[in-house]
Amino acid sequence: MNKILDVISEEVKKAFEAAGYDRELGRVTLSNRPDLCEYQCNGSLAGAKKYHKAPIMIAQGVAEALKENPVFSEVSAVAPGFLNLKVSESFLSGYLNEMAASEKFGVPEPEKKETIIIDYGGPNVAKPLHVGHLRSAVIGESIKRILRYAGHDVIGDIHLGDWGLQ
Protein backbone atom coordinates (compact mmCIF):
# COMPACT_ATOMS: atom_id res chain seq x y z
CA MET A 1 0.00 0.00 0.00
CA ASN A 2 1.39 3.40 -0.97
CA LYS A 3 1.91 6.07 1.64
CA ILE A 4 -0.57 8.92 1.46
CA LEU A 5 2.21 11.43 0.73
CA ASP A 6 3.35 9.29 -2.22
CA VAL A 7 -0.19 9.17 -3.63
CA ILE A 8 -0.57 12.96 -3.32
CA SER A 9 2.88 13.57 -4.83
CA GLU A 10 2.05 11.35 -7.79
CA GLU A 11 -1.14 13.32 -8.49
CA VAL A 12 0.74 16.63 -8.34
CA LYS A 13 3.52 15.27 -10.57
CA LYS A 14 0.90 14.28 -13.15
CA ALA A 15 -0.54 17.80 -12.96
CA PHE A 16 2.87 19.39 -13.53
CA GLU A 17 3.31 17.13 -16.54
CA ALA A 18 -0.19 17.95 -17.85
CA ALA A 19 0.59 21.67 -17.52
CA GLY A 20 3.75 21.19 -19.62
CA TYR A 21 6.41 21.14 -16.92
CA ASP A 22 8.88 18.61 -15.56
CA ARG A 23 7.05 16.11 -13.35
CA GLU A 24 9.88 16.08 -10.81
CA LEU A 25 8.84 19.60 -9.76
CA GLY A 26 5.72 18.07 -8.18
CA ARG A 27 7.30 16.95 -4.92
CA VAL A 28 4.80 17.44 -2.08
CA THR A 29 5.63 17.94 1.60
CA LEU A 30 3.63 18.40 4.77
CA SER A 31 2.76 22.04 5.19
CA ASN A 32 4.81 24.02 7.65
CA ARG A 33 1.76 26.30 7.96
CA PRO A 34 -1.13 23.99 8.94
CA ASP A 35 -3.36 27.04 9.37
CA LEU A 36 -3.22 27.54 5.56
CA CYS A 37 -3.17 24.00 4.17
CA GLU A 38 -2.33 20.36 4.89
CA TYR A 39 0.25 19.81 2.14
CA GLN A 40 2.32 22.12 -0.02
CA CYS A 41 4.45 22.07 -3.14
CA ASN A 42 7.06 24.66 -4.02
CA GLY A 43 8.13 23.15 -7.35
CA SER A 44 6.93 26.26 -9.18
CA LEU A 45 9.68 28.26 -7.50
CA ALA A 46 12.32 25.82 -8.76
CA GLY A 47 10.76 25.67 -12.23
CA ALA A 48 10.62 29.44 -12.71
CA LYS A 49 14.26 29.72 -13.69
CA LYS A 50 14.16 26.70 -16.01
CA TYR A 51 10.99 27.77 -17.83
CA HIS A 52 11.58 31.55 -17.67
CA LYS A 53 8.15 32.16 -16.15
CA ALA A 54 6.94 33.77 -12.96
CA PRO A 55 6.51 31.09 -10.27
CA ILE A 56 2.92 32.16 -9.63
CA MET A 57 2.07 31.57 -13.32
CA ILE A 58 3.43 28.03 -13.14
CA ALA A 59 1.58 27.39 -9.87
CA GLN A 60 -1.68 28.69 -11.34
CA GLY A 61 -1.32 26.38 -14.36
CA VAL A 62 -0.76 23.37 -12.13
CA ALA A 63 -3.60 24.39 -9.80
CA GLU A 64 -5.90 24.53 -12.82
CA ALA A 65 -4.80 21.01 -13.82
CA LEU A 66 -5.63 19.79 -10.28
CA LYS A 67 -8.98 21.59 -10.06
CA GLU A 68 -11.17 18.54 -10.81
CA ASN A 69 -8.92 15.98 -9.11
CA PRO A 70 -10.96 13.95 -6.57
CA VAL A 71 -7.96 13.62 -4.23
CA PHE A 72 -8.12 17.30 -3.30
CA SER A 73 -10.91 19.36 -1.81
CA GLU A 74 -8.99 22.60 -2.27
CA VAL A 75 -6.00 23.61 -4.41
CA SER A 76 -4.72 27.17 -4.44
CA ALA A 77 -1.74 28.93 -6.00
CA VAL A 78 -0.31 31.48 -3.58
CA ALA A 79 2.40 34.09 -4.16
CA PRO A 80 5.26 33.80 -4.74
CA GLY A 81 4.47 30.38 -6.26
CA PHE A 82 3.37 27.87 -3.66
CA LEU A 83 0.68 25.27 -4.22
CA ASN A 84 -1.46 24.83 -1.10
CA LEU A 85 -3.32 21.52 -1.02
CA LYS A 86 -6.13 20.17 1.14
CA VAL A 87 -7.06 16.50 0.82
CA SER A 88 -10.71 15.62 0.28
CA GLU A 89 -12.61 13.69 2.93
CA SER A 90 -13.83 11.16 0.36
CA PHE A 91 -10.24 10.37 -0.66
CA LEU A 92 -9.16 10.01 2.98
CA SER A 93 -12.16 7.80 3.72
CA GLY A 94 -11.33 5.52 0.79
CA TYR A 95 -7.66 5.43 1.75
CA LEU A 96 -8.48 4.48 5.36
CA ASN A 97 -10.99 1.83 4.24
CA GLU A 98 -8.34 0.32 1.97
CA MET A 99 -5.88 0.36 4.86
CA ALA A 100 -8.39 -1.31 7.19
CA ALA A 101 -9.15 -4.00 4.61
CA SER A 102 -5.50 -4.95 4.16
CA GLU A 103 -4.18 -7.84 6.24
CA LYS A 104 -1.61 -5.77 8.17
CA PHE A 105 -3.44 -2.43 8.15
CA GLY A 106 -1.18 -0.94 5.48
CA VAL A 107 2.14 -1.96 7.04
CA PRO A 108 4.33 -3.08 4.13
CA GLU A 109 6.45 -6.23 4.22
CA PRO A 110 10.12 -5.39 4.77
CA GLU A 111 12.31 -5.32 1.66
CA LYS A 112 14.82 -7.48 3.50
CA LYS A 113 13.67 -9.66 6.38
CA GLU A 114 16.22 -9.45 9.16
CA THR A 115 16.89 -11.22 12.44
CA ILE A 116 17.03 -8.59 15.16
CA ILE A 117 18.18 -9.18 18.71
CA ILE A 118 16.85 -6.84 21.37
CA ASP A 119 18.56 -6.90 24.74
CA TYR A 120 16.42 -4.92 27.10
CA GLY A 121 17.60 -4.54 30.64
CA GLY A 122 16.31 -6.49 33.53
CA PRO A 123 16.83 -5.71 37.16
CA ASN A 124 20.06 -6.35 38.97
CA VAL A 125 19.38 -9.44 41.05
CA ALA A 126 21.36 -8.02 43.97
CA LYS A 127 19.22 -4.90 44.29
CA PRO A 128 15.58 -4.38 45.28
CA LEU A 129 12.95 -4.12 42.53
CA HIS A 130 10.93 -0.96 42.00
CA VAL A 131 8.44 0.33 39.44
CA GLY A 132 11.22 1.97 37.38
CA HIS A 133 12.44 -1.48 36.34
CA LEU A 134 9.22 -1.94 34.36
CA ARG A 135 10.02 0.92 31.99
CA SER A 136 12.82 -0.77 30.05
CA ALA A 137 10.92 -4.07 30.02
CA VAL A 138 7.78 -2.45 28.59
CA ILE A 139 9.72 -0.43 26.00
CA GLY A 140 11.78 -3.47 24.94
CA GLU A 141 8.74 -5.72 24.67
CA SER A 142 6.90 -3.07 22.64
CA ILE A 143 9.78 -2.67 20.19
CA LYS A 144 10.02 -6.45 19.86
CA ARG A 145 6.31 -6.77 19.03
CA ILE A 146 6.36 -3.87 16.55
CA LEU A 147 9.33 -5.35 14.67
CA ARG A 148 7.67 -8.79 14.58
CA TYR A 149 4.47 -7.25 13.23
CA ALA A 150 6.53 -5.49 10.57
CA GLY A 151 7.76 -8.91 9.42
CA HIS A 152 11.19 -9.36 11.00
CA ASP A 153 12.46 -12.27 13.08
CA VAL A 154 13.05 -10.89 16.56
CA ILE A 155 14.85 -12.40 19.51
CA GLY A 156 14.18 -10.69 22.82
CA ASP A 157 16.64 -11.13 25.66
CA ILE A 158 16.31 -9.76 29.14
CA HIS A 159 19.71 -9.33 30.71
CA LEU A 160 19.57 -10.10 34.40
CA GLY A 161 22.14 -8.18 36.39
CA ASP A 162 24.79 -10.09 38.29
CA TRP A 163 26.28 -9.96 41.73
CA GLY A 164 29.28 -8.01 40.47
CA LEU A 165 31.74 -10.80 41.27
CA GLN A 166 33.29 -11.38 37.80
Distance separating alpha carbons of residues 81 and 38, to the nearest angstrom: 16
* CATH 3.30.1360.70 domain range(s) in the chain: 4-92
How distant is the alpha carbon of residue 55 from its chain centre? 27
Model pTM? 0.73
**Cβ atoms of 80 and 116 closer than 8 Å:** no
Distance separating alpha carbons of residues 113 and 17, to the nearest angstrom: 37
Confidence of residue 162 (pLDDT cuts 50, 70, 90): low
Query: 116 - beta bridge partners?
Result: 154
We find that the CATH architecture of domain 4-92 is 2-Layer Sandwich (3.30)
pLDDT tens profile 92-136: 999 999 999 988 888 888 999 999 999 887 777 777 888 887 888
pLDDT tens profile 55-70: 999 999 999 999 999 9
pLDDT score of 66: 95
Closest by CA position to 9, among listed 65, 71, 92: 71
